Structures are given as C-alpha cells and as structure tokens.
Amino acid sequence: MNGLLQNITQALGWSMAHSLWQGALIYGSLCFIFLLSPKLTSKNKYALALLGQFILSITFVITFSSYVDIPSITEDPFMNYVAEPLTLSSETSSSLSQALHPLLPWMSSLYVLGLSFQFIIFSSSLSKLHYLKTRGLSTIPVTWNQSFQDICHRLQIKQCIQFHLSEKISVPMVIGHLKPIVLFPVAFVNNLELEQVESIVMHELAHIKRRDYLFNLFKVAMETILFFNPFIWLLSRYIETEREHACDDIVMKWTPSSIAYAQALMSVELLKNTAAPIHAMAAVGKKHHLLHRIQRITNMEKKHINARQHLVAVVLCSFALVTIAWISPTEKQITFAEEITVLPAVENPAVTYQIPTPPATLDYPSFPQDTIKPPLNPEEVLTERTNIKNIEAEAKKIETYYNSPEWKNKIADIETQAAKKTEEYFNSSEWKAKLAEIEANANKIEAYYNSPEWKNKIADIEAQAAKKTEEYFNSSDWKAKLTEIEANANKIEAYYNSPEWKNKIADIEAQARKAGEYFNSPEWKAKITDIKANAKKIAEYYNSPEQN
C-alpha cells in the first residue's frame, strides 16, 4: 500500500509539472491562431478556447496514467517495497529533475487540498443556483410573456423554458440545461421599456440555444481538475468573453438598433446592486467587460492586438518550462538477480527498511528484530543479502500467523461480541425511551406549524411585505431614483453622441492603423525571424548528444 501511494504521489507531481508547459504550448498556439486570423468569429474563438481546455485536461490525464504503474506494484508488494529504494536511473538525471523530485509529495498534497476546496466552491454555487430556481419567484407581465414566446419562435427554440420574476436577484440570468429557467429581477418591471426587455431576453435565450450552461459545467469541471494551472484560467477568460460576444451577435441579427441594445445593457448595469452568482448565464458581468461589449456592439471597439502580448508572455514562459518536457524519468529497476557490474555509482541514497508488524494488543509470536542501517552506496547494499533474507523470513512468519485458525477464531469472536452488544442496545428500554421522546417532539413541532397561530403569523408577514413593497414603489424616494437613473442614461447617450467622443474614436482608429502597419513592417518580421532562429537553436541544444 505504501508503494502504491508513493507511486501515485510521484505520478501526480510529475503530471502537475508537465501540465504547465503543456498549458503554455496550447495557450500559445491559440494566441498564434488568433493573431493569424483576426477575422475569426466569436463563435469560432469560443469553440477553439473550449477545445484548448479539453486538450489540456486530456493531456493531464494521459501524463498521469503514463507515470502511474499500478500492476507492477500489486504483483509483489513486499519485494517491491524492499527493492524500490535501489531503483537507479540508466542515464544521468538532470539537475532540474533532482531539484523537483523532493517537491513532488508536497505538490501532490497541495493538489488534494486545492481540489477539495474547489469541490466545496462548486457544490456551494450549485446549491445557491437551486435556491434561486425555487425561491422568491413570481409571475411575469402578460406583455412580457407574449414577447418571450415570439422570441422563442424566432430563434426556433422548441424546448420548454420557464420565465419568471425573482426577488432574489438583481441581474437577468439563465439557470439549468434540461429544464432551463430565465429569471428577471422584480425591480426591472417598472424600469425597462418593452424593447429593452426583449433584447435582454433574446440574449438569455441565445445562451439556451447555444447550450452554454451545459458547456459551462464542463468548463468548471476542467477548471476544478486543473485549478493549479494558470493557463486553464486564461483559457476560461477567453471562453467567457467570446461566449458573451457570440450571444451579442445573435441579438444583433434580430435587433434593429445597436444603440438601443447597448442602452438596455447599460440600464441593467445601473440597476444591478449585487454580483451575479457564478456558473449562471448572467446578462452582464464585470464593468470593464461590459464597456468592451458596448464598444463592440456600437462598432466602436478598440483594435488592440492583445494576442501579440500573450504570445510573447507564452514564449518566455515556455523557455522557462520547456526543460521539464525533456525530463522523462524512465528508470531501470535493478534487482538482486542482476549482475553487480551494471550498477552505476550513486552518492548517499536514502534507504529505509520497515518491517510490518501486527498490532501490539494482539497475542502473536515474537520475532527477532534486525537492525538494518542505511547503506552508503549500492555496493554496500549488495553485501546485506543475509539481512534481507531474514526480513523475508519474518514477513512469511507474520503472513502465516494472520492465516492461522487461532487468528481467525479471535476475529470471529470479536465480530460475534460486537453484533450481540449492538442488538442488546437497540432492544433496550433506554433506546426505546429515546425514540419515544424524539417522536413526541416531532409531533409537537408538526402541531405548532399546523396551528392557527402560526398560520396567522405567516399571513400577517405576507400582508406587511406586500404593503411595504407597494408603498415603496409608489413613494417619492423611488420615483426620484428613477428620475435620476433616466437623467444619467440621457447624459451617457449624449456623451456617446458628442463630437468629443467621436474624435476619441477617430484617434483610437488612427493609432490602431499605425499598430497594424508596424506589425506588417519588415522590422517586425525581422524580429519574428530572429525569435524563431533563437528557438531553433535552443531546441537543437537540448536535442544535442551533449545534453542527452
């Protein structure tokens, strides 16, 4: 068991290390594709980023399975346990491998802790989404329902979709895949025009049509498994951004005015007072992302070529991590049956022999204890064959004892006594009195919740809540807030239509053209050629016989 655990720990640590350069390679390839194909649609970018996450997850699993070797461990656990410290590499290990090897158990332990934490977050978010689907729901207005059905027909969505108002949210969202539900905040009823509601509803239905909720669960599962890898989170940011852009593109096909849709998104952002729960398909997210979406919708998007910056970062990171790819600890195990002359010299191997013994509380035959000191080199190990034979003999004695009738009778006696005591306790008057007390308390609780007193309290609470809600929405304070929101919206609209804003956009476009000319210039192409030449030299150096 210890050998199996050690093997899995080593395999997990090496898989984590290799996953870093694998992620750098996949993310760099994705950035390179985006750089070469700037006219790719958001739908295709989303699919490529999701495919990159999937490939990275599969490579992690394949790497782990290639390092773990369960059959060789389970064939003869004791002999493997003794001979494993004598495993020697057939080639000289690299200094980087020697530096990482002691860290592998710590990396594996941190991975288990982090994975547990990720599962807790995932379970908590799913529980919150289930709460939102079943609590605080109310009926939508008739006009909204008619528009909702028309939009479903236009998008050719035949799936049964629920549409409700919710008191628990402040952002429109979609929850669920098999039985999806679209939720709108109650506060939006009196604050959004019908055209704005239709555009937001179409955005949420676009998520359902594209099955984004299901693919998002797959994305979260891959993030949970590879939470330690920064490239999995960079790919996730690409996925989330292009997913919203793809839904915006669907809305723009059916919306006559892009300005109206941008105003609807801005109104949702202004009315939002809490963040959307994770794993839900919300209409708006982070503020800087919403600004980029509005600029894209209104054809005022800044033409930054961020892919180049990511590519340079990935190249530098790849140079730092590429040496890990060459570490392949395929070690040849040297057994006692092999010739001594094939053993290479190893300095100070740490070898510890542990003799498994039965528990001290049991009556078992005593065995002589041999003290085996750790050897200083492999030659000294091979001189201790007599001690190892003694260990094998002791192990056989222990195995014989655990297979003896005496030991089996003791186990049977323990099981009989435990079953008898358990049965006596559950048939005792003490246990029956406890059950009777529990039933009596349960009857009291049920009677209280069915009493007229409790029902009157619930009715009073509901009446007061309805009254306060109606008074608040009819108050001057609420009307003043609405007036202020409308004034701010008018100011924003006036700003985006002002000559000052148009001049800024023209300046940005001019700078973008200059950047495009620079990346098409011979100077930049010469730099790229130089980078490729340096990379080729590095690859040739690591493939040279000197390094091998």
The two tokens of residue 273 are 């007072």
Q: Which of 251-255, 281-285, 531-535 has the lowest mean pLDDT?
A: 281-285
* Spatial separation of the C-alpha atoms in residues 1 and 510, rounded to whole Å: 67
Average pLDDT, integer, range 394-423: 83
Angle between helix 429-449 and 405-426 (nearest 10):
50
Average pLDDT, integer, range 83-101: 48
> At 28, which amino acid appears?
G
pLDDT at 343 over 80: no
* Spatial separation of the C-alpha atoms in residues 409 and 377, rounded to whole Å: 46
Q: What percentage of the chain has pLDDT greater than the value 90?
A: 12
Are 294 and 266 within 8 A, CB to CB? yes
pTM above 0.85, yes or no: no
User: Is the model more confident about 258 or about 247?
Assistant: 247
pLDDT at 129 over 80: yes
Are 20 and 229 within 8 A, CB to CB? yes
* Spatial separation of the C-alpha atoms in residues 527 and 329, rounded to whole Å: 36
User: Is the model more confident about 309 or about 367?
Assistant: 309
Average pLDDT, integer, range 90-103: 57
| pLDDT at residue 426 in the model | 84
* Spatial separation of the C-alpha atoms in residues 454 and 477, rounded to whole Å: 34
* Spatial separation of the C-alpha atoms in residues 516 and 513, rounded to whole Å: 5
Band of pLDDT at residue 334, cut at 50, 70 and 90: very low
| pLDDT at residue 339 in the model | 37
| pLDDT at residue 371 in the model | 44
Q: Which of 192-201, 231-240, 357-366 has the lowest mean pLDDT?
A: 357-366
Band of pLDDT at residue 373, cut at 50, 70 and 90: very low
pLDDT at 218 over 80: yes
* Spatial separation of the C-alpha atoms in residues 374 and 434, rounded to whole Å: 59
Average pLDDT, integer, range 388-413: 80
| pLDDT at residue 235 in the model | 93
State the Cα angle at 180 between 177 and 186, rounded to 5°: 145
- Per residue in 282-301, pLDDT (tens digit) is 666 665 577 778 888 877 65
Q: How many residues does the chain have?
A: 548
> Rounded to whole angstroms, what are the CA distances from 301 to 167, 286, 338, 528?
35, 17, 70, 27
Average pLDDT, integer, range 466-482: 86
| pLDDT at residue 541 in the model | 76
Phi then psi for residue 164, to 5 deg, are -140, 160
> Rounded to whole angstroms, what are the CA distances from 125 to 121, 237, 278, 438, 458?
6, 19, 6, 34, 29
- Per residue in 45-70, pLDDT (tens digit) is 999 999 999 999 999 999 988 888 65
Q: What percentage of the chain has pLDDT greater than the value 70?
A: 73
> At 366, which amino acid appears?
S
The two tokens of residue 147 are 């528009």
- Per residue in 454-468, pLDDT (tens digit) is 899 889 898 888 888
Q: What is the mean pLDDT of the chain?
A: 77
Average pLDDT, integer, range 171-180: 88
* Spatial separation of the C-alpha atoms in residues 369 and 142, rounded to whole Å: 86
pLDDT at 98 over 70: no
